[in-house]
């Protein structure tokens, strides 16, 4: 891209000089002022005061000390997947599951969009690290933005400050990320033409990724992953492409430390699409006595082989950007407790005394609510009070279940990886992969229901390979090949791979499994398999527990329900194979041969051939 490819490099480095780049972006966007962020507490206090003055942040009362409510524009409430694009020279490198754009054409469109887009506004320069600064798995980036909300949120979600800036200025590689809400206040002559608003945005939205030159450009949206460019844009789309080139993995996963009653510790990663219990699992309070689950991360995991050939993982983020609806003391006590203060709530409802509320927080809604747009609400309104994608942004240090190793730059050794979708039928509660290739097949063929976190029809089932459908920055079939290659390199030290499904339903439509803290019972079986203490039944889904090896004591689950939970019906999986075949057909010659072999093996098993 011309806007960066011809920028002078830092002294003694092949990396573009960050100050020259900032000057180039300022020349294009024409802000009234340029401010470098230092990540300090004093800076955060200034930004918050500014946000309160302009009406972006509304202070909350004492129960949420130092916290604020933000209301976005009604058309800027979630990721915009249909306007999220991957620009590669060869369309096949983006693949059929991404929205491909030609890099040259896209550059011309971006220049037109960004020209003068920050007139009258402040351009903040945010140097940040994903992962502990200077760590062997960590990466650096610089986001420029004219969104105060984005600056504040990046300060929570990443490690912003002079330490990252100094490494970048010294020539360390970094990812450039340009963001504008597309709401200039002045015309080309410097005359003010409109007042600022509490939530500036633009009807035109475009989130562009250039994996070949490792750039991100986002226009028009101030919300979530569209604006916090260190999150999905960098930590998944660009990082996944970087990982493929450099031999590591960037995945949409949680990461936890599990401690058994005997004091043995295991680290488990898990790929779960939105609304599949990822945050609840990451902050689980186990129901089983003596078991402990500690949080390392709830959304993104970077994994790299260490000098001993083991797969090590970090959570590259420094905070949680969680979905508020459904979060309560009953469903996720750790998440609920960490929201005591210093939190930014977005698109939540507001109580009569000025506090925040969302569906699921209490059994019944309080009287006198304002909905997420600030309008009076009652149960008769016929719509949720909080937006279904209402969010909280909070520092990781406030999580009561946070593991003491969460910030270790070396990361933790991964013992097991779970793949979990949201399936009412077919997929059993838990199944272990027979080997690494079968585990990659389980990850590649995950399916789940669409949620409010992404635009689309809520409830519609879609294939979501590795929970990365919206986030893989290159051809998904090449992503599966990369996983297969990593498995070969890991050999006997590779983590065990499992599929899980908390959402199976009975004939009456009710959930068969209680979920939440009871999922520790599944973890107990996973650990038993890691330790070689229990056998398993080979089914079309993989290796499933014997009914007596799944601890259901105290759950009052009838025997036939336990059997149904662990059933992998051949006829169901024969239909499943048809859906998988449709997915695989999209990738043509890019499909790894081993994935085709796994599909054929599945068909044989469903037809009694195995």
User: Residues for the chain: how many in total?
Assistant: 610
- Phi, psi of 64, rounded to the nearest 5 degrees: -125, 75
- What is residue 433's DSSP assignment? -
Separation CA 320–CA 248 (nearest Å): 23
Q: Are 385 and 357 in contact (CB under 8 A)?
A: yes
For strand 253-259 and strand 292-297, is the pairing parallel, antiparallel, or unpaired?
antiparallel
- Which burial class, exposed, middle or buried, applies to 189 when counting CB atoms under 10 A from its CB (0-12, 13-18, 19+)? exposed
Four-residue CA torsion sign, 200, 206, 211, 213: negative
Structure tokens at 520: 């520790």
Separation CA 278–CA 275 (nearest Å): 7
Separation CA 6–CA 29 (nearest Å): 18
Q: How remote is the C-alpha of 49 from its chain's centroid?
A: 29
The active-site residue out of 233, 276, 348, 399 is 276
Of the candidates 42, 53, 36, the residue with the CA atom closest to the CA atom of residue 145: 36
The set of residues, in sequence order, having a beta carbon less than 8 Å from that of 483 and lying 6+ positions away, is 249, 440, 443, 466
Range 92-121 burial, b when 16+ CB lie within 10 A, else e: bbbbbbbbbbebeebbebbeebbebbbbbb
Of the candidates 62, 59, 39, 64, the residue with the CA atom closest to the CA atom of residue 48: 59
Separation CA 542–CA 546 (nearest Å): 13
| 3-state SS, one letter per residue, for 325-345 | CCCCCCCCHHHHHHCCECCEE
For strand 139-145 and strand 175-180, is the pairing parallel, antiparallel, or unpaired?
parallel
Of the candidates 104, 96, 112, 108, the residue with the CA atom closest to the CA atom of residue 204: 112
The set of residues, in sequence order, having a beta carbon less than 8 Å from that of 380 and lying 6+ positions away, is none
Of the candidates 276, 398, 387, the residue with the CA atom closest to the CA atom of residue 337: 398
399 a catalytic residue: no
Q: Are 149 and 222 in contact (CB under 8 A)?
A: yes
Q: How remote is the C-alpha of 414 from its chain's centroid?
A: 19
The set of residues, in sequence order, having a beta carbon less than 8 Å from that of 264 and lying 6+ positions away, is 527, 531
- Element holding 54 (H helix, E strand): helix 41-54
List, edge to edge, every strand of the sheet that includes 542-545. Answer: 292-297, 253-259, 265-271, 416-420, 496-500, 430-432, 542-545, 536-539
Q: Are 252 and 299 in contact (CB under 8 A)?
A: yes
**Catalytic amino acids?**
276
């Amino acid at each position: 891209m011309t806007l960066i490819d011809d920028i002078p490099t830092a002294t003694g480095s092949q990396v573009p000089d960050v100050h020259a780049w900032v000057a180039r972006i300022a020349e294009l966007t024409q802000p009234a002022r340029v401010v470098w962020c230092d990540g300090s507490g004093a800076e955060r206090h200034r930004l918050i005061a500014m946000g309160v003055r302009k009406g972006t942040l509304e202070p909350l009362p004492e129960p949420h000390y130092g916290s604020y409510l933000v209301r976005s524009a009604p058309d800027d409430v979630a990721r915009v997947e249909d306007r999220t694009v991957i620009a590669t020279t060869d369309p096949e490198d983006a693949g059929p599951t991404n929205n491909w754009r030609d890099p040259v054409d896209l550059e011309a469109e971006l220049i037109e969009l960004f020209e003068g887009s920050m007139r009258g506004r402040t351009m903040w320069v945010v140097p940040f690290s994903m992962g502990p600064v200077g760590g062997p798995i960590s990466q650096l980036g610089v986001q420029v933005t004219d969104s105060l909300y984005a600056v504040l949120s990046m300060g929570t979600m990443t490690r912003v400050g002079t330490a990252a800036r100094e490494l970048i200025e010294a020539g360390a590689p970094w990812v450039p990320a340009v963001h504008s809400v597309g709401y200039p206040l002045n015309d080309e002559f410097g005359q003010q033409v409109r007042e600022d608003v509490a939530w500036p945005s633009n009807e035109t939205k475009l989130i562009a990724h250039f994996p070949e030159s490792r750039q991100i450009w986002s226009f028009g949206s101030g919300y979530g992953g569209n604006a916090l460019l260190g999150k999905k844009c960098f930590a998944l789309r660009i990082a996944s492409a970087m990982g493929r080139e450099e031999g590591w993995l960037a995945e949409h996963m949680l990461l936890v430390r599990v401690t058994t009653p005997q004091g043995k510790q295991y680290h488990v990663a898990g790929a779960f699409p939105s609304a599949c219990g990822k945050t609840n699992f990451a902050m689980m309070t186990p129901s089983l006595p003596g078991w402990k689950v500690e949080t390392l991360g709830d959304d993104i995991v970077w994994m790299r082989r260490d000098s001993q050939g083991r797969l090590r993982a970090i959570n590259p983020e420094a905070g949680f950007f969680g979905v508020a609806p459904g979060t309560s003391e009953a469903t996720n006590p750790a998440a609920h407790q960490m929201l005591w203060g210093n939190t930014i709530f977005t698109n939540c409802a507001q109580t009569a005394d000025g506090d925040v509320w969302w569906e699921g927080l209490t059994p019944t809604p309080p009287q006198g609510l304002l909905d997420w747009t600030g309008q009076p609400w009652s149960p008769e309104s016929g719509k949720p009070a909080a937006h279904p994608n209402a969010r909280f942004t909070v520092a990781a240090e406030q999580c009561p279940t946070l593991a003491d190793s969460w910030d270790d730059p070396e990361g933790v050794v991964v013992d097991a990886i779970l793949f979990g979708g949201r399936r009412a039928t077919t997929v059993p509660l838990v199944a272990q992969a027979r080997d690494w290739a079968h585990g990659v097949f389980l990850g590649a063929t995950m399916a789940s229901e669409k949620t409010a976190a992404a635009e689309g029809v809520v409830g519609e089932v879609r294939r979501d390979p590795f929970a990365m459908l919206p986030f893989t920055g290159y051809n998904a079939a090449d992503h599966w090949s990369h996983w297969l290659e990593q498995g070969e390199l890991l050999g006997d030290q590779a983590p065990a791979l499992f599929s899980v499904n908390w959402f199976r339903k009975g004939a009456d439509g009710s959930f068969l499994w209680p979920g939440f803290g009871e999922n520790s019972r599944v973890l107990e079986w996973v650990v038993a398999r890691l330790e070689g203490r229990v056998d398993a039944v080979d089914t079309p889904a993989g290796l499933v527990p014997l009914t007596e090896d799944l601890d259901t004591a105290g759950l009052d689950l009838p025997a036939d329900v336990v059997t149904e939970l662990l059933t992998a019906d051949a006829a169901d999986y024969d239909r499943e194979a048809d859906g998988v075949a449709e997915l695989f057909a999209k990738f043509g010659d890019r499909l790894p041969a081993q994935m085709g072999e796994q599909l054929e093996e599945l068909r044989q098993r469903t037809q009694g051939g195995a």
